[in-house]
Chains A and B, each alone.
Chain A
Amino acid sequence: MKYKSVFDIIGPVMVGPSSSHTAGAVRIGLVARKLFGRKPTWARISFYGSFAETYRGHGTDVAIVAGLLGFDTFDERLPNALEIAREEAVDVSFSAEEAIPHHPNTARLRIGDDEGELELVGISIGGGKIEIVELNGFALKLSGHHPALLIMHNDRYGTIGAVASVLAKQKINIGHMEVSRKEKGKEALMAIEVDQPLTDDLIGELEQLPNIIQVAKLVD
């Protein structure tokens, strides 16, 4: 069953006009914000496919910036996100790309500040659901049909085991897991799909583990 909850049908509560082009875009921005861990001072956003053609009309640009500011899909400040970004001195720019993407609703986000930067590619697959297909150069293959965790961490022994133990303690079963790293001992990424819902308490517990840099959840 693709849809599990009645709230997939009577929901989500969101700022319009489009679950895929607005709510999904907010969620892509929010994942980037959560993984970056703080408000960026600049953002370069590239749109592909249908996003490139209709982003102004659907407010996809506004929606992604809202996500970067930490607003959720139902936040009434969402329509004013571009003005709020300007007031908060976040420099944002957009470009519509000609390249044909694998999925029609694709956005590439590069965000950063003086301390660092992050790059991710997100796609909006319908009904507000999203997938992150690339993060800091790591390719991801998540189905998007299950709750998922993205965990940036230091490449140290025991880190994967510690994360798995926390999940096991909460009786959360892992359906799919990918681990990748740039270089031995440097920054690495765990992408984990699970069968049970992920609570904020669980995210908090994972963030407390040693060698964890950032934790973000995809799909509620």
Chain B
Amino acid sequence: MFRNVAELVALAEKDNIKIAEVMIRQEVEVSGRSREEIIAQMDRHLAVMERAVEKGLRGVVSRSGLTGGDAVRMQRYIAGGRFLSGETILDAVSKAMATNEVNAAMGVICATPTAGAAGVVPGTLFAVKEKLRPTRMEMIEFLFTAGAFGYIVANNASISGAAGGCQAEVGSAAGMAAAALVELAGGTPSQAAEAMAIALKNMLGLVCDPVAGLVEVPCVKRNAMGAANAMIAADMALAGIKSRIPCDEVIEAMYRIGAAMPVALKETAQGGLAATPTGRAIAARIFGASAASK
């Protein structure tokens, strides 16, 4: 059993196995289910993520009309070839948004670690698929690696916007994705931990301020940037760059920042972007004037 990132990395290094394998072994032990059963379930979750991305790339619109269509817009822009950053990173951005647009439109998604942050992990995975050509099993392992880091954050800090702000949702997802990207690209367990630390550090303090309380604005775009952040953090770790603050201490800092964050900025739709004139006007249009004045 691992309780923190240091123990997780040590377990992987001791047996010279992937972090994904440490997570699979622990799941077998804790759940009492067979290895095959557990891998088959993750395979099904992977298939759900694939379908959500495909659906989002065909174009969806949410019930409120606030979100939808940006994933498609980004793919068209990539196809135009005149982008400033890079094709893989923009593909990750598009596929992260695709997932969250489907989520907002009441489509089927896999929460990673939550529904509101569900775009980051699959967005990055399906973006690097072209470049790294992973096997199906390696893609499944990507999710176990992401899950291992998310499990530590969930138990030692929080993955809930209501408890810890967006840093706990998209921040955690970016860290999980960065670590899993490193392992998929052939990096070491400690490099995966560095990537998680670098990604999460740059999400610290991010508030949860959804307009009208809906998982749409700014959530879809925060998933886009969470995916971009994860890609860069993975590249930094693979380049040999280290976080001066160890991963476990970054997670601890995230927890403390979340506890200190005012309630108005923790998924109550009372502060931040939700409290802007435009945010309030949108809320009034959707729910009526009484909800917007609260």
Q: Are B154 and A8 touching (Cβ within 8 A)?
A: yes
A-chain residues with CB within 8 Å of residue B115 when the two chains form the complex? 14, 16-19, 22-23
**Of the candidates B26, B38, B163, B216, which one forms a contact with A126 in the assembled complex, judged by CB atoms under 8 Å apart?**
B163
Report the bound CA distance from A19 to B116 in whole Å.
8
Q: B114 an interface residue at 8 Å Cβ cutoff?
A: yes
Residue interface bits A114-143, CB-to-B below 8 A is 1, else 0: 000000000000111000000000000000
Residue contact B48 to A10, C-beta cutoff 8 Å: no
- Which residues of the partner chain A approach B269 to less than 8 Å between Cβ atoms? 53-54
A1 within 8 A of B: yes
- Give CA–CA (A198, B160) in the complex, Å: 26
How many angstroms between the C-alpha atoms of A1 and B116 in the bound complex?
23
Interface SS of B by simple majority: helix
CB distance from B103 to the nearest CB of A (A): 3
Contact residues on A (Cβ < 8 Å of other chain), bracket: 35 or more
Residue of A nearest to B160 (CB): A126
Please pick, from A50, A56, A79, A104, the residue contacting B106 in the complex, using a CB distance under 8 A. Answer: A79
User: What residues of B have a CB within 8 angstroms of the CB of A3 in the complex?
Assistant: 151, 154-155
**Cβ-based interface call for B289 (8 A):** no
Q: Are B114 and A127 in contact, with the CB atoms below 8 A?
A: yes
Q: How far is the CB of B35 from chain A (nearest CB, A)?
A: 13
Assess whether A57 is in contact with B64, with CB atoms less than 8 Å apart: yes
Residues of B contacting A12 with CB < 8 Å?
110-111
Contact: B154 with A16, CB < 8 Å? Answer: no
Known: A10-B143, A11-B110, A15-B108. A57 touches B151 (CB 8 A): no
A54–B38 alpha-carbon span in the complex (Å): 36
The answer for the CA separation of A2 and B159 in the assembled complex, in Å, is 11
Q: Provided the pairs A1-B155, A19-B114 are in contact, do residues A127 and B106 lie with their beta carbons within 8 angstroms?
A: no
Check if A67 is an interface residue, CB within 8 A of chain B: no
Q: A3-B155, A57-B63 are in contact. Are A10 and B147 (CB under 8 A)?
A: yes
Residue B150 contacts which of A4, A10, A22, A54 (CB distance < 8 angstroms)?
Answer: A10
Give Cα A191–Cα B252 distance, bound, in whole angstroms.
36
Q: Given A3-B154, A79-B106, A197-B32, does the pair A14, B294 have CB atoms closer than 8 Å?
A: no
Interface size class on chain B is: 35 or more
Q: Which of B23, B107, B162 interacts with A16 by CB under 8 Å?
A: B107
CA distance A175 to B160 in the complex (A): 26
Are B31 and A13 in contact, CB atoms less than 8 angstroms apart? no
Chain A residues positioned under 8 Å from B162 (CB to CB)? 20, 104, 126
Q: Could you tell me which residues of chain B, from 203 to 236, have a CB within 8 Å of some CB in chain A? A: 212-216
State whether the Cβ of A100 lies closer than 8 Å to any Cβ in chain B: no
CA distance A1 to B153 in the complex (A): 11
CB distance from A23 to the nearest CB of B (A): 7
> Is B291 in the interface zone, CB < 8 Å from A?
yes
Chain B residue at smallest Cβ distance from A52:
B291
Tell me the smallest distance from the CB of A98 to a CB of chain B, in Å. Answer: 10
Q: Chain B residues near A76 (CB, 8 Å)?
A: 108
- With contact pairs A3-B154, A127-B160, A197-B31 given, residues A9 and B113 touching in the complex (Cβ less than 8 Å): yes
Cβ distance B40 to chain A, nearest Cβ, rounded Å: 12
Q: Which of A6, A12, A23, A196 has the most CB of B within 10 A?
A: A6
User: Is A74 part of the binding interface, using a Cβ–Cβ cutoff of 8 Å?
Assistant: yes
- Tell me which of A10, A50, A128 has the highest count of chain B C-beta atoms within 10 A of its own C-beta: A10
> Nearest residue in A to B116 (C-beta to C-beta)?
A18
A208 contacts chain B at the CB level, 8 A cutoff: no
Partner of B215, one of A13, A18, A127: A18
**Contact A13/B103 with A4-B30, A23-B115, A126-B163 known, Cβ cut-off 8 Å:** no
For the complex with contacts A5-B31, A17-B104, A22-B106, 16 further pairs of A-B residues with Cβ separation under 8 Å are A3-B154, A6-B23, A7-B42, A8-B151, A10-B147, A14-B109, A15-B108, A16-B108, A18-B115, A19-B116, A22-B115, A54-B214, A57-B286, A58-B213, A58-B215, A196-B32
A-B contact pairs, 5 of them (CB 8 A): A7-B27, A7-B45, A10-B42, A13-B45, A23-B111
